[in-house]
Structure 1
Amino acid sequence: MARLGALLGTVQMYRLVSVVLVAIVLVALTESLVGLLGFEPLELVATLGTVLLACIVANRVMALLFRVRPHTESSVITALLLFFLFFPTTDGEELLSVALAAAIAVASKYVLAWRGRHIVNPAAIGAVIITLTGLNASVWWVGTPVLLPVVVIGALLVLYRTRQLPLGLTFIVLAAIVVTIVQSSFGLALSDALVYALGSTPIVFLAGFMLSEPLTLPPRLWQRVVLAGIVALVFSIPFSVGPLYSSPELALVVGNLLAFLVGQRRGLSLSFERSTSLTPSTTEFVFSSSRPVSFRAGQYIELSIPHSGADSSGTRRVFSIASAPSTPHELRLGVRMGESASSFKRALGSLKPAQPVRANLVAGDFLLPRDSSRPVLLVAGGIGITPFISQLEHDAARGVTRDLVLIYAIRTHDEFAYRDVLERLEIRVVLLAPHEPENLAGGWSYAGSGRLTRELIEQQVADVRERTAFVSGPPRLVSAVRAALRHLRVRRIVTDAFSGY
């Protein structure tokens, strides 16, 4: 799992979803060619080509109308999702209705949006609207036993990478149970009903590729789990209200609307103040806000910076907040820039003083225990130190003291970010670096230049099993440290690997 986390951490989220969906498409085409799938290869190719063309063209048209740069990979993902929702066909009228559903889905990203964020899943709302018109109806043919293995693998990869496994598993388990009960009430044997629920409905596909979309989820984990339960019930229990009847896409849209109601809808207008070099490869960006920004220490914020030449990472990005909630009119973000920075980071680095920046979301569950008497271990890699700085500054502002130790791993001796803050707050630090820095503060220790192994952790923090561990940094480090802590039988481990869309 540590290797898997490290590998997935190197793949940008849009790219991962695209690759996995394309893999399912290729499996479907192969199974069609050998007669395992009940559709002709030409029907699959014609439908796939239609949704791809319709989504890409519609995306470019809407981008021109709204004067923004089109995000092509996002429209490709929407097309691939729609491909699995409608019957593959070569009929001209049916293909036209599928193209219309694709155009509606793409348009919803621009029209049904608030502060630059989707209100509903585009593919789902496209399917709902086209079904209500009577021009076509979704069938979710992806919910078939012959595709289940590759769908399960793909869904788990996406859920694991986005850290949405609790949400996905809650939906899958509850929906499978309810569908099994419903089918059993219709006279189906219990075992057959369970096989039907998992193999002949789109439960796994919906959980892995649509319910888990970060842009339509509430900010807190418990809210997401509750949402997954509600969507599972709406998905599983048959009903009909006027022109509306139970369907996977309607269940998802209902969940999206509920998530919108509990999420942060106001948006934040920030003004860029200044940037300061923290290390040769990391920079702190400071923003001000006329209104107080409400957040909890350890959470992240999503910034939106429209810019020309946007690459596949798009115009939005999330960053851990380094400032404390006690200074709500100022936000500080520590960002690793690197030599091959994305177009977003280049745009961020080019901001001018007083230039406005939109923030669309504050979220996250990387929060220290409310009970300050509980001992904690903090493990940071590189710029993963940023959420800890927010938490430590917040505790200091409130006069809260904790039994706390920080293990900080850096690549080079000059990559020691926020050293002055850690010294000022008198935090106990165990440093892992290629060379021992000069003049280590009192209470600090140098742990060498090797890997952050479980032996090293146990040697430096003898009571590690009694502590709640918080790990933040690159996915490779987070996965390795989490595995080491589990070997040490640490009961509670909270991670904050860099991920998201």
Structure 2
Amino acid sequence: MRAWLDGLLGRFTMYRLVLVVLGVLALYSIILDLLGWLTFGLPAIFASLLISLLVTTLVSWLLGLVFRVKVQLESSLISGLLIYFLFWPSLQAGELAGIALAAATASASKFLLAWRGRHIFNPAAIGAFLVSLTGLNIATWWTATPAMLWLLVPAAALVLYRSSKLIFAAIFIVTAATIIIVRLLSNGLALGAALSQPFASLPVLFFVGFMLSEPLTLPPRRYQQWLLAGLVAVLFSVPFQLGPVFSTPELALLIGNLLAFTVGQRGGLRLSFQGARQLTPTSMEYRFSAARPVRFAAGQYMELSLPHRKPDWRGSRRVFSLTTDPRQGAQLAFGLRLAEPSSSFKRELNSLKAGAVISATGVWGDFVLPAGRAPLLLMAAGVGITPFLSQLRHLQHSAAEHRDVVLLYVISSLDEFGYREELLKLTAAEGIRLLISAPEDPGVGEYLSTGYPSAEQLKTAVPDISARRSYASGSPTFVAHARSIGHHAGARKVHTDSFLGY
């Protein structure tokens, strides 16, 4: 079931998924108003929605011309929908002007409040905050109503699951809800009312599901994100004042954005295309150079942005694991599977000429090796080998980090033995055991099985698996299988990296 859901959601980029989910929520709000469960009135809903969408799109387009950059339409539409959900729908000219100003500010912030091409603050939050200072309008976060919760809960859960932010969200929700409930009880509110308040009257779920979890304004590592979730939860739920400015959800988020900006790879990156090479009949490696060294840990991934004409439903932004040693600094490479029919993104990538410049929004991921000398079991299928290649290259040049490593590589045919020469050199140089599962024996390494190995085969090949830190990388189907056989063979935990969208 989990592999099926991962495969289904992997067909959508995060931007496309969030856009679709927010669009469905907007349609749901219209239906609720028709049924009388919301009382804004359809004219007010349509006026607020259209102004939000049109202004964010138009301002983004105009500033894109000024700054000579290609604008992501999906990003503009997402910002517009978020603005719609932050401000009470209205037909009053002043309040509509406030919505328009918030939408314009949200789009402008992506260009003006940015560092090296990467925006610092959540655009919708900065728009709402600055408009509140003018007095034209105030964000009400009106999705925190019982009627909206019926769809908001599964919608937020879907987005958080796809982005692997469920624990992150749980930390925020539990912390914020606990503080709010304790405060309400201390003020004499009845227990039942206090328990429902964080969800039926305050925007806890919408805040964490669609605002705080925005990838571009989060730190790169999971532990940093968890710490941020707890801190922002406190700012969200405890009233405070900064001079004349009183606490609001958007102010709590902006403070969190600023803290997140101080860690990790600050700013976007400009990458110059250096060339490509065929790895297998269905995969390629693409090489880039950056203008400055890139900070990342072996096993992390990077989001590439490649705007192009008529993008398909998989969008113009994709994430790929880095295959290079972090010590190479500005020299980067990515290994990709080119499924047929290929996405418009990958077709555009294949058409790049040497010297062409594309952008990358940042580096993220926690699929990194643990510190110390704990023995490792690395299990990969297909292009799932890419994060391990980066890690093995890093280990090769780190004498202090020599490790006892077993690498299991599952390939669909001998022609699909990606990075064959590099892997043979790395495993030979580092004394790494290479186990191969393929339809026939490739004549190198230790031949294990004709397809996905069983738990018994894995246990026989790696009898000390319980003493090893285990990792699995590849398609959702393979990762689910590797997790299962790993546990049955005795692994205490299998760290996973699912390649969605292939």
Read off the aligned partner of 1:92 and give its amino acid letter: A
Check whether the contact 1:409–1:432 (CA below 8 A) recurs between aligned residues: yes
Say whether residues 1:438 and 2:439 are aligned partners: no
User: Corresponding residue for 2:492?
Assistant: 491
Paired position in structure 2 for 1:48: 49
CA 311–55 in structure 1, closer or farther in 2 if over 3 Å, else same? farther
Aligned pairs for 1:270-309 within 5 A: 270-289=271-290, 291-305=292-306, 307=308
In the TM superposition, residue 43 of structure 1 has moved relative to its aligned partner by 2.8
Aligned residue number for residue 164 of structure 1: 165
Distance in 1 separating the partners of 2:242 and 2:294: 41
What CA distance in whole angstroms lies between the structure 1 residues aligned with 2:125 and 2:440? 55
Q: Secondary structure at the match of 1:262?
A: coil
Unaligned runs of 5+ in 1: none
- The aligned counterpart of 1:260 is 261
Q: 1:64 to 1:499 in 2, by over 3 A?
A: farther
Q: Which residue of 2 aligns with 1:139?
A: 140
Question: Any idea what the Cα deviations from partners look like across 1:18-62, whole Å, max 9, x if unmatched?
Answer: 222222223322222222234333432332222122222222222
Between the aligned partners of 2:389 and 2:306, the Cα distance in structure 1 is 25
**What amino acid is the match of 1:447?**
S
Specify the code of the residue in structure 2 equivalent to 1:477. F
Offset at 1:479?
4.0
How far 1:205 sits from its partner (Å)?
A: 0.9
Match of 2:386 in 1: 386
Paired residue secondary structure (1:273): strand
CA distance in 2, matches of 1:335, 1:475: 16
Cα deviation, residue 214, structure 1:
0.7
Q: Residues 114 and 267 of structure 2 are in contact (CA less than 8 Å); yes or no, is this contact kept in structure 1?
A: no
Contact 1:170 1:229 in 2 (8 A): yes
How many residues are treated as equivalent by the alignment? 495
Other structure's SS at 1:414 match: helix
Comparing 405-414 with 224-233, greater Cα deviation is found at 405-414
Aligned partner of 1:77 in structure 2 is 78
State the alpha-carbon separation in 2 of the partners of residues 276 and 212 from structure 1.
36
Q: How does 1:87-486 map to 2 (within 5 A)?
A: 87-265=88-266, 268=269, 270-289=271-290, 291-305=292-306, 307=308, 316-372=317-373, 374-399=374-399, 400-424=401-425, 425-426=427-428, 427-433=432-438, 435-439=439-443, 441-442=444-445, 444-449=446-451, 451=452, 454=455, 457-458=458-459, 460-482=461-483, 485=486
| Mapped contact 1:101–1:126 kept (Cα < 8 A) | yes
Structure 2 Cα separation of the partners of residues 359 and 491 of structure 1: 36
SS of equivalent to 2:415: coil
Contact 2:216/2:361, CA 8 A, preserved across alignment: no
Cα deviation for residue 306 of structure 1 reads 5.3
The alignment partner of 2:140 has SS state of: coil
Q: Distance in 2 between matches of 1:18 and 1:292?
A: 33
Q: 2:23 aligns to what?
A: 22
Inter-partner Cα distance in structure 1 for 2:94 and 2:418: 60
1:8 CA drift (Å): 1.4
Question: What amino acid is the match of 1:240?
Answer: Q
The alpha carbon displacement at 1:308 in A equals: 5.2
Q: Measure, in 1, the Cα distance between the counterparts of 2:33 and 2:488.
A: 45
> After alignment, is 267-276 or 72-81 more displaced?
267-276
Farther off after superposition, 252-261 or 391-400: 391-400
Partner Cα distance (1:221, 1:214) in 2: 12
User: Closer, same or farther in 2 for the Cα pair 1:43/1:455, shift >3 Å?
Assistant: farther
Tell me the distance in 2 between the aligned counterparts of 1:121 and 1:363.
Answer: 18
CA 1:453/1:29 → structure 2, altered by over 3 Å: closer, same or farther? Answer: farther
For 1:334, what is the secondary structure of its paired residue? strand
Shift of 1:144: 1.4
The one-letter code sitting in structure 2 at the alignment partner of 1:178 is: I
Q: Aligned partners of 2:210 and 2:453: how far apart in 1?
A: 34
Once the two structures are TM-superposed, the CA of residue 313 in structure 1 deviates from its matched residue by 5.3
**Which stretch has the larger CA shift, 281-290 or 389-398?**
281-290
Partners of 1:499 and 1:211 in 2: CA distance: 23
- In structure 2, the gaps of 5 or more residues are none
Give SS of 2:30's match: helix
Distance 1:401 1:472 in 2: 21
CA RMSD of aligned residues (A): 2.6
Distance in 2 separating the partners of 1:110 and 1:421: 41
Determine the C-alpha separation between the residues in 2 that align with 1:487 and 1:167: 28
Shift of 1:456: 5.5
Asked whether the 8 Å contact 1:73–1:312 carries over to 2, the reply is no
Q: Give CA-to-partner distance per residue, 1:241-272, whole Å, 9 cap, x none.
A: 33421111111111111111223226555443
**Contact 1:180 1:197 survives alignment (8 Å):** yes
Q: Distance in 2 between matches of 1:329 and 1:75?
A: 30
Q: CA deviation at 1:237?
A: 0.6
How big is the shift at 1:94? 2.0
Q: State the secondary structure of the residue aligned to 1:63.
A: helix
Given the superposition, is the C-alpha separation of residues 153 and 382 from structure 1 closer, same or farther in structure 2, using an over 3 Å criterion? same
Residue-by-residue CA offset, 1:93-118 (whole Å, 9 max, x unaligned): 32232122111111211222222222
Cα distance change of structure 1 residues 114 and 474 upon mapping to structure 2, 3 Å threshold: farther
Q: Mean Cα displacement is larger for which, 466-475 or 282-291?
A: 282-291
Match of 1:32 in 2: 33
How far 1:361 moved relative to its partner? Answer: 2.2
How much does 1:329 deviate?
4.7
> Following TM superposition, by how much is the alpha carbon of 1:228 offset from its aligned partner in structure 2, in angstroms?
1.0
Cα distance in 2 for partners of 1:348, 1:190 equals: 57
The Cα of 1:463 is off from its aligned counterpart by: 4.2
